[in-house]
Amino acid sequence: MRDQDLPPAIRALDDRAWLDLLLQSLGSREVAGATFPAFPDAETQRRFVGADGPSTLHEAFSFYTLLKDRAAAMGRPLEDGSAFLDFGCGWGRFLRFFWKDVGARALHGCDVWPQAIELCRELGMPGNLDRLYHWGRLPYADASMDIVMSYSVFTHLPEEPHRHWVAEIARVTRPGGIFALTLEPRRFLDFIEALPADATGWEGDLRRHHAAIPDLRRHYDSGAIAFLPSGGAGDFAGTLYGDAAVPLAFIERHWSEWFTIRDYVDDPGRFFQAVLVVQRK
């Protein structure tokens, strides 16, 4: 665990001023008297989140402020020591933001991809960093987390890993605790259908599944996960990873044992993906 806490003057900043410091930390690790984690090179940033530089932080800021607003409105404000987990933390884009609110000791990030955790350590990410194993347990005690988030992770999981990990997240979340995540909504299938035949990169991988879209739409409308095995091999094999549109009906059916739905935002003007906020029963 990297027990780096920020000076009190920084922890007292409002969220907008905090975003400004994080943006400055793209250019220098020493900002306002504190040492910030480094950033991966631009190509590595893009590999994880499809973009690099300031836009990655602006995108994260919208989710950060929504999660903080909802948590406060639900009587669970993020504060010093609130146990916080980022499931599928990648290079620690969100851990940087929540560092100010909960402090290094309460900050937890985990990822199934070992390179992500190694990278976070190399970058000097504060907090507790844990590697996960497919079909394994989260390395945290029952009911130990106040807030769990997962951005652009359940958008990649087929049904079995999805159900495995949500059961684990439910296990580690305290009663009344909050889980906020992104899901691909139905419009994601329209997006794939509209991709040009010469699309490249991630879009090219999606475009290869173009002919399956009518079936996937029927699947989605019946309340099932519409999954495309667009990921590749190894950790990204189709049984573990790809692209997935998840209807709310699926969440209602399979999550209601543990969670109550509190908010669902499907607004492309605000978020690329849909945002779901649930509360542990």
Please report, as ranges, the residues that interact with ligand SAM according to CB under 6 A: 48-49, 87-90, 93, 111-113, 116, 132, 151-153, 156-157, 161, 165, 241
User: How near is the Cβ of 83 to ligand SAM at its closest, in Å?
Assistant: 18
For residue 192, the minimal CB distance to ligand SAM (Å) is: 17
Nearer to ligand SAM, 157 or 251 (CB): 157
Q: How far is the CB of 36 from ligand SAM (least distance, A)?
A: 16
> Which of these, 175, 172, 236, 226, lies nearest to 202 by C-alpha position?
236
Whole-number Cα distances in Å, 249 to 114, 148, 164, 178, 222: 33, 21, 18, 20, 8
Q: Which residues contact 30 (CB under 8 A, 6 or more apart)?
A: 36
**Of the two residues 137 and 281, which places its CB atom closer to ligand SAM in the complex?**
137
- Three-class secondary structure of residue 205 per DSSP: helix
Buried b (16+ CB within 10 A) or exposed e, 44-62: bbbebbeebeeebbebbbe
Nearer CB in complex with ligand SAM: 75/255: 255
**Rg of the chain over all Cα atoms, to the nearest angstrom:** 18
Structure tokens at 160: 């079995």
Q: Residue 55 or 260: which CB sits closer to ligand SAM?
A: 55
Helix (H, G, I), strand (E, B) or coil at 168: helix
User: What pairs with residue 261 in β-bridges?
Assistant: 278
Minimum CB separation of residue 74 from ligand SAM in Å reads 22
Task: Decide whether 100 or 221 has the Cβ nearer to ligand SAM.
Answer: 100
90 vs 103 by CB, closer to ligand SAM: 90
Using Cβ positions, the residue closest to ligand SAM within the complex turns out to be 90
Counting beta carbons within 10 angstroms of the beta carbon of residue 199, is it exposed (0 to 12), middle (13 to 18) or buried (19 or more)? middle
CB of 211 to ligand SAM, least distance (A): 25
Cβ proximity to ligand SAM: between 118 and 190 the closer is 118
Residues 6+ apart with CB under 8 A from 115: none
CB of 158 vs ligand SAM, minimal distance in Å: 10
